[in-house]
Amino acid sequence: MSDNCFAGYNLREELLLALQKKGFTLPTPVQEKVLALDSFDLDLIVRAKTGSGKTLAFLLPMLQEMDLPESNPKILILSPTRELAQQTAREAEWISRYMDISVATLVGGLDMAAQIRSLKEGAVIVVGTPGRTLDHINRGTLRTANIHSVILDEGDHMLDMGFKDELEGILDSLPDRKRTWLFSATMPREVRELSTKYLSSPLFISLVGEEEGNEDIAHKAYLVPSRYRMEGLVNILLWERPKRGLIFCHTRLDTMTVAQRLSESGFKAGSLHGEMTQRERNAVLASFKSGQLPLLVATNVAARGLDVEGVTHVIQLGLPDDRDTFVHRSGRTGRAGHEGINILLLSPQESTKFKYMLGSAKVPVEWHNVPDAEAIGKIQKEITEEKLLTMKEPDDRESYLAWAEDLLTRVGAKDLVARLLWSLSSKRSTGYTLSAELDREIRRKSRRPADEGQERSFKSRRPKGTMLRLGKGLADGWDVGRVLSAVCTSLHVDRSEIGAIRMKDDHVLVELLPMALSRFNEDCRGLEQRGLLEAGAGKGALLFSAPARPRRSADGPRARKWERS
């Protein structure tokens, strides 16, 4: 056996057998790096691109060291989403199948009693989402005394999703753990902060250059007219013809509208979002995985970390929240060495912002205008011809020839072929003509270059939101992009819910549109955690409702400056 086979790593028989049964012979690079460590008794931070096999990279060493028999919780794996936790639990189950240990999955939305039962019955590996896991710890149903290893999977996303308090609560309740391993595809500041606080002199293994993406993925950006995004999506689907496509939207409502519109256009599409019951989510995922449902429209959160084989296309509608989201979403395709295509649909206006967002990242993006009905028609014709010309001969050729001869005495040959071709062509939409509208928008944009500097301006409209004053400014190293991204993440809103952003040296004014305002009123802790808002400041940081009384703001007459054109 060559050295880099699993067999070359002194793994225990039970693990080798499970790997062999699964057909895995070579470790992926990240697995190789972790398995090659002299000792697993240390804190570890692993940064590797999505789809690189991180799950086994932590499961194999953990199981390698386990004394058997065992019937107490020893290993706790925390995942950002229910789906990911379930997926990791399934991976833990097959890899440990010859070790006679069991796995408990602790996720919200599923029966508490069943989870308590699986813990009572002696689960050794516990995989959970932070909220539900902490809940079990607080109720005493998950006993932590024996847990020696904690794995924070997709650490960056757990923090994005606002699980900081839960994570800290869990880690604080495990003071005697032997090791904490943090896995993540990206390393934003919040993750570094968490690791400084909870990991002790961790070893850092990185398999990605700071700006490197996943080279199995081709990135394409299509420009679509902003008012015809759905029509643009239909055209792109007809053009790219994804075998299995995952479409990302910003909100739950978007996922439902888009899936509905696609169904109306003749595509089979389902939606996946956080407000579905777990049973509904599992059902739609199962049909997507089985290939019954070739298109799945999902929110970012719902699709994070999902490992579905054979996703050929990831399609992102509109501007991703930030560069990390873009990288993570595209990581749903091109997994485990398969090539994938990552498509972004942007309006001309958004395209400038996207280029700005990519910054210095070395992600090669091909730019295209949305294909028009004419080009789509041409390719559909070619496909139909191809189907016809490469078709295999009918079994009883003679009788079909006789049938054809008979028909030809009744219908003209041209007419007959035309009807047959029509019956062979796809009954889907043939696409929309969008080029004229797109050209208009591109021209409009070049007349008025997007202001990507230190302002996010009102563009000739009067402000209609509520101003929020945040306590950090240019002097603290903040800029428009960072503020926008932090506010959207903290309040769990889309960029379209944020209006103008006006940077000052020591503070910044942000216009909250109604949804963002209501989220802010519900919970502004995210902004406090990011140091943008003083603890307890709450509504005190709201300045005024601009359209009603623009001049009575804390900023006095300067409020006029909001109306830039």
Binding site for Mg ion (CB under 5 A): 54
Which C-beta is closer to ligand ADP: that of 92 or that of 467?
Answer: 92
User: Could you give the strand order of the β-sheet that contains 365-369, starting from the edge strand earlier in sequence?
Assistant: 269-272, 295-299, 245-249, 313-317, 340-346, 217-223, 365-369
Partner whose binding site includes residue 28, from ligand ADP, Mg ion, none (CB under 5 to 8 Å by kind): ligand ADP
DSSP structural state of residue 15 = H
Partner whose binding site includes residue 53, from ligand ADP, Mg ion, none (CB under 5 to 8 Å by kind): ligand ADP
Contact 524, 518 (CB under 8 A): no
Closest by alpha carbon to 520, among 468, 563, 452, 447?
468
Shortest distance in whole angstroms from residue 240 CB to ligand ADP: 23
Shortest distance in whole angstroms from residue 254 CB to ligand ADP: 25
Which C-beta is closer to Mg ion: that of 54 or that of 502?
Answer: 54
Which C-beta is closer to ligand ADP: that of 37 or that of 336?
Answer: 336
Which C-beta is closer to ligand ADP: that of 50 or that of 333?
Answer: 50
Distance between terminal CA atoms of the chain? Answer: 70
Which C-beta is closer to ligand ADP: that of 31 or that of 96?
Answer: 31
Partner whose binding site includes residue 51, from Mg ion, ligand ADP, none (CB under 5 to 8 Å by kind): ligand ADP
Shortest distance in whole angstroms from residue 323 CB to ligand ADP: 18
Contact 267, 237 (CB under 8 A): yes
Contact 265, 429 (CB under 8 A): yes
Q: Give dist(CA 360, CA 211) in Å, integer.
A: 8
Place of tokens 């996922």: 255
Shortest distance in whole angstroms from residue 87 CB to ligand ADP: 7
Tokens standing for 207? Answer: 């398999």
Tokens standing for 396? Answer: 């009883």
Residue 16 neighbours by CB under 8 Å, 6+ apart: 6, 7
Shortest distance in whole angstroms from residue 52 CB to Mg ion: 9
Shortest distance in whole angstroms from residue 54 CB to ligand ADP: 3
Which C-beta is closer to ligand ADP: that of 90 or that of 229?
Answer: 90
Q: Give dist(CA 297, CA 257) in Å, integer.
A: 10
Shortest distance in whole angstroms from residue 210 CB to ligand ADP: 18
CA 492 → CA 193, 210, 238, 277, 501, distances in Å?
21, 26, 32, 20, 17
Shortest distance in whole angstroms from residue 244 CB to Mg ion: 19
Helix-helix angle 514-522:480-491, to 10 degrees: 60
Which C-beta is closer to ligand ADP: that of 5 or that of 218?
Answer: 5
Q: Letter for the amino acid at 139? A: R
Place of tokens 């990605």: 208
Q: Give dist(CA 419, CA 406) in Å, integer.
A: 16
Partner whose binding site includes residue 336, from ligand ADP, Mg ion, none (CB under 5 to 8 Å by kind): ligand ADP
Shortest distance in whole angstroms from residue 289 CB to ligand ADP: 11
What residue ranges bind ligand ADP (CB under 6 A)? 24, 26-28, 31, 48, 50-56, 307, 335-336
Shortest distance in whole angstroms from residue 84 CB to Mg ion: 7
Which C-beta is closer to Mg ion: that of 54 or that of 332?
Answer: 54
Q: Which residues of 217-249 are buried (b: 16+ CB within 10 A; e: fewer)?
A: bbbbbbbbbbebbbbbbbbbbbbbebebbbbbb
Shortest distance in whole angstroms from residue 77 CB to ligand ADP: 11
Partner whose binding site includes residue 56, from Mg ion, ligand ADP, none (CB under 5 to 8 Å by kind): ligand ADP
Which C-beta is closer to ligand ADP: that of 12 or that of 241?
Answer: 12
**Burial environment of residue 291 by CB neighbours within 10 A (0 to 12, 13 to 18, 19 or more):** exposed
Closest by alpha carbon to 72, among 116, 120, 141, 105?
120
Partner whose binding site includes residue 307, from Mg ion, ligand ADP, none (CB under 5 to 8 Å by kind): ligand ADP
Give 545's strand partners: 466
Partner whose binding site includes residue 27, from Mg ion, ligand ADP, none (CB under 5 to 8 Å by kind): ligand ADP
Shortest distance in whole angstroms from residue 338 CB to ligand ADP: 9
Q: Give dist(CA 106, CA 115) in Å, integer.
A: 6
Q: Give dist(CA 437, CA 442) in Å, integer.
A: 9
Task: Give the other-Cβ count within 10 Å of 120's Cβ.
Answer: 10
Tokens standing for 353? Answer: 């912002």
Q: Give dist(CA 541, CA 469) in Å, integer.
A: 5
Which C-beta is closer to Mg ion: that of 325 or that of 347?
Answer: 325
